[in-house]
A = this chain, B = another copy of it.
């Protein structure tokens, strides 16, 4: 039995609240159990230098935790004067994942920045950020579509992410912080609406894992991601139908 009474293949309760920021082109508060992340999508009508003149857009992401998002207070990275390796790794992952379902050509020469700020952390902050940022991105693109005539809708598919892991020989879906710190194997999976992998990051620092274990974990992840995409669809309402259209 899991500490919070869930089945091995059961997600924590998920809530996606849209429109939580009056300035951002797209915004959501996503809650997965006690993990809470504010995701905003900001549109700028220019691209970074390395993308200039290609007629294509850019999607990038930044990630941070409030100092007291965790059990004990963390120092602010702004005060320390640099981003930790963990932060950089996570924000690179979020950006890469979201670019995979955006047709940058169709988007045109503009940048959408996804800011994922963790208000409270209880495991799975990077996967929750990806799932929430996808919705914020869709809202921003939808807002853009009111003033911009896209030749093709720039979002090509749904995208969500979940963590899976192995604790005491059992594969479990959507680890909370307590489970995460006990897991021998820990894997973050990002998948599209059509069931393909965008990112797979598994680590068995404490205990290497076999092909069989890998397969079990991937099945759990597939199930969880299908459910998450249903919730994204509900949060987006009628806009959901434009995706991949």
Interface digits, A105-139 against B, CB 8 Å rule (1 contact, 0 not)?
00000000101010110000000000000000000
Instruction: Point out the residues of chain B lying under 8 angstroms from A187, CB to CB.
Output: 200
**Min CB–CB distance A117 → chain B (angstroms):** 5
Interface residues of A in 70-113 (CB under 8 A from B): 70-73, 76-89, 91-92, 96-97, 99-100, 113
Cα distance, A24 to B87, chains bound together (Å): 22
Nearest to A210 among chain B residues (CB) is: B196
Interface size counted on chain A using CB atoms at 8 A: 69
Give bound CA distance, A169 to B5, whole Å: 44
| Contact between B200 and A201, CB atoms less than 8 A apart | yes
Q: Is A21's CB under 8 angstroms from B120's CB?
A: yes
- Kindly state the separation between the CA atoms of A79 and B204 in the bound complex, as whole angstroms: 27
Q: How far is the CB of A72 from chain B (nearest CB, A)?
A: 8
The answer on a CB contact under 8 Å between A78 and B83 is yes
Give chain A interface residues in 1-34, CB to chain B under 8 Å: 21-24, 27, 34
Q: Is A205 an interface residue (CB 8 A)?
A: yes
Residues of B within 8 A of A113 (CB): 67, 73
Partner of A209, one of B84, B87, B197, B206: B197
**Cβ-based interface call for A164 (8 A):** no
User: Counting CB contacts under 8 A, is A214 at the interface?
Assistant: yes
Report A138 CB to chain B, min CB distance, Å: 16
Nearest-CB residue, chain B, relative to A121: B23
Known A-B contacts A197-B202, A208-B198; A79 and B96 likewise in contact (beta carbons under 8 Å): no
- A218 interfacial contact with B, CB 8 Å: yes
Among residues 160 to 185 in chain A, which have CB atoms less than 8 Å away from a CB atom of chain B? none
Q: Do A67 and B42 form a contact, CB below 8 Å, given A197-B209, A200-B202, A204-B100?
A: yes
Would you give the 0/1 interface string for A30-47, flagging 1 where the beta carbon is closer than 8 Å to chain B?
000010001010101000
A-B contact pairs, 20 of them (CB 8 A): A21-B119, A22-B34, A23-B72, A23-B120, A24-B68, A27-B68, A40-B68, A42-B73, A62-B67, A78-B80, A79-B83, A83-B85, A85-B88, A85-B89, A88-B88, A89-B92, A192-B208, A197-B209, A197-B210, A197-B211
